[in-house]
Copies of this chain bind each other. A is one copy, B any other.
């Protein structure tokens, strides 16, 4: 019995596929510093944890397919703080931002329809596109200009009759780029011209650094019919395991259609929605402190890595990732080496090889995504491990005499 051809062709998550090597290292007693995944060590707001401890129902019942009213009302207030006007019926709660992206592909696209996406991009989108049989058309952004938006002409070149929309992530995972108001406006004009959607994943909305202001796609009401925002509680409130996300759009036809998918899977998780509703009542300082902490961590890891000979990376403006070019033949081979064959003072480091973050074959083989969600001490040790690991790998595996 064979598995389907499509599942065989799906890629394993480049963020998670090396996990067996990390487990083996851990079993040998090596402390693996996980820069491969955006799992923060910052505490979930106490409001959310208390809501779990005080969960008052005695039956964990099915909820509404579109998500609980209290949670959607809480989000309306939350967006209002950013000057964004939506009402509760503009919001559908999803099981994580992941489900939101899947619902949008299924709702907007028939098989072989296309979405344009700047690469490197959030790699799990590839699987969601594969599930929906949507073709991703990449526009390559470059480390040379800090992964800014490629020219509008490059996007327009890729638009054809099968193009249903453009998918952005801002602040960007994996590059850290924060799209400017001008960039978004230009894309919206392009979308209007060709009558397609602009879908923006804003799950890192609060994490913008160096005083940079974030522009939400929801702040362009004149294009509201073609705008879809993907959101999630995972990063903002350090509750990644809760799996609570959202689709936000003024286009009711999109939500009405997506509701068919939502009804089939019945409802998002009930207890976690209670936690998410409470997280929204955390004081503004919670998110502000988290933002400041990530800015600090970014500075720590970037400045340490920039000192490593041959490593190229520049200061990201948002989210909590960056893509670095490494002085190796193959970033994945080097990653496996770090986990299987190397340790420094009992530690090693795991990162996400970046080739899986590109649609275009052949790109990103010497690049890797690093998440700076751990504390300063861990980040400094991770940079040291990388520096020492690179020396050994280049000498012993690549045979370079320096």
Near B by CB (< 8 A), chain A positions 43-81 give: 43-44, 48-49, 52-55, 57-63, 65
Q: Are B263 and A16 in contact (CB under 8 A)?
A: yes
Residues from chain B with Cβ under 8 Å of A65 in the complex: 16
Give complex CA distance A128, B334 in Å.
Answer: 40
Query: In the complex, what distance in Å separates the CA atom of A11 from the CA atom of B60?
Result: 27
CB-defined contacts of A54 to chain B, threshold 8 Å: 53
Determine which of B5, B110, B132, B240 lies in contact with A62 in the assembled complex, contact meaning CB atoms within 8 Å: B240
**Beta-carbon contacts under 8 Å, A3-48 to B:** 3-8, 10-13, 15-17, 37, 39-44, 48
Q: Is A264 an interface residue (CB 8 A)?
A: yes
Count the copies.
2
Q: A4-B106, A108-B4, A242-B60 are in contact. Are A12 and B49 (CB under 8 A)?
A: no
A213 / chain B contacts, CB cutoff of 8 Å: none
What are 22 A-B interface contacts by the 8 Å CB criterion?
A: A1-B251, A3-B107, A3-B257, A4-B164, A5-B110, A11-B260, A42-B59, A49-B58, A53-B54, A53-B55, A63-B241, A95-B95, A98-B264, A124-B265, A124-B266, A127-B261, A127-B263, A240-B266, A241-B270, A241-B271, A242-B271, A243-B266
Instruction: Give chain A's interface residues, CB within 8 Å of chain B.
Output: 1, 3-8, 10-13, 15-17, 37, 39-44, 48-49, 52-55, 57-63, 65, 95-96, 98-99, 102, 106-111, 113, 124, 127-128, 131-133, 164, 195-197, 225-226, 238-243, 251, 253-254, 257-261, 263-272, 275
